[in-house]
Amino acid sequence: MLEATQPGVGGEIQLTDAIAALLKERRVFGYEYEGVRYDCGSKEGFYRATMELGRK
């Protein structure tokens, strides 16, 4: 499904677009995650995640 999803702004593949396409074909399940999450879609985000996780 991700292979068929066109990149959005900034050249990133948006998971919401892929999930919307998948919903047309089958049921989709989700999980409400309450922990810390990291956006590693940029060098800065990846750096911040690496630094924070390195301190643990």
Cα dihedral value 32, 15, 44, 50, nearest 10 = 50
d(CA 1, CA 4): 5
**Residue bearing the bigger pLDDT, 40 or 1:** 40
**Residues shown for the chain:** 56
Number of domains into which the chain is organized = 1
Q: Which residue has the tokens 């399940």?
A: 29
Interval 41-51 mean pLDDT: 94
Burial class (CB in 10 A: 0-12, 13-18, 19+), 5: middle
Q: What is the pLDDT of residue 50?
A: 96
Q: What is the pLDDT of residue 16?
A: 86
Q: Which amino acid is residue 53, in one-letter code?
A: L
Q: What is the pLDDT of residue 31?
A: 94
Q: Which structural domain range is residue 42 located in? A: 2-55
pLDDT tens digits along 21-37: 999 999 999 999 999 99
